[in-house]
């Protein structure tokens, strides 16, 4: 498995959320990393580190 950027999974919504800072094209990122997750999952990229960690805390607190 390659070095996957920081990410978390939202099981209920079947989403994988990646933290990617910068202007790298979203479609290239998802094309590269989504094959490592089940096909039913959708990929999502968040650019803001603060929003990513807040969202991750919110998802983890619901478990």
What proportion of the chain, given as a percentage, has pLDDT over 70?
A: 95
* Residue 9: band (very low, low, confident or very high) from pLDDT cuts 50, 70, 90: very high
Strand stretches in the chain, DSSP E: 7-10, 15-19, 42-46
What pLDDT is attached to residue 41?
A: 97
CB under 8 Å to 7, separation ≥6 — which residues? 16, 17, 18, 19, 33
State residue 51 phi and psi, 5-degree precision.
-65, -40
Check whether 32 has a pLDDT greater than 70. Answer: yes
What's the pTM?
0.87
Average pLDDT of the chain, as a whole number = 91
Residue ranges per structural domain of the chain: 7-61
* Residue 5: DSSP 8-state: P
Query: What span, in angstroms and rounded, lies between the C-alpha atoms of 32 and 1?
Result: 11
* Residue 1: band (very low, low, confident or very high) from pLDDT cuts 50, 70, 90: low
């Amino acid at each position: 498995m390659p070095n996957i950027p920081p990410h978390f999974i939202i099981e209920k919504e079947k989403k994988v959320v990646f933290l990617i800072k910068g202007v790298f094209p979203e479609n290239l990122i998802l094309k590269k990393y989504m094959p490592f997750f089940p096909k039913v999952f959708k990929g999502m990229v968040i650019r803001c580190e603060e929003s990513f960690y807040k969202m991750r805390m919110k998802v983890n607190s619901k478990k």
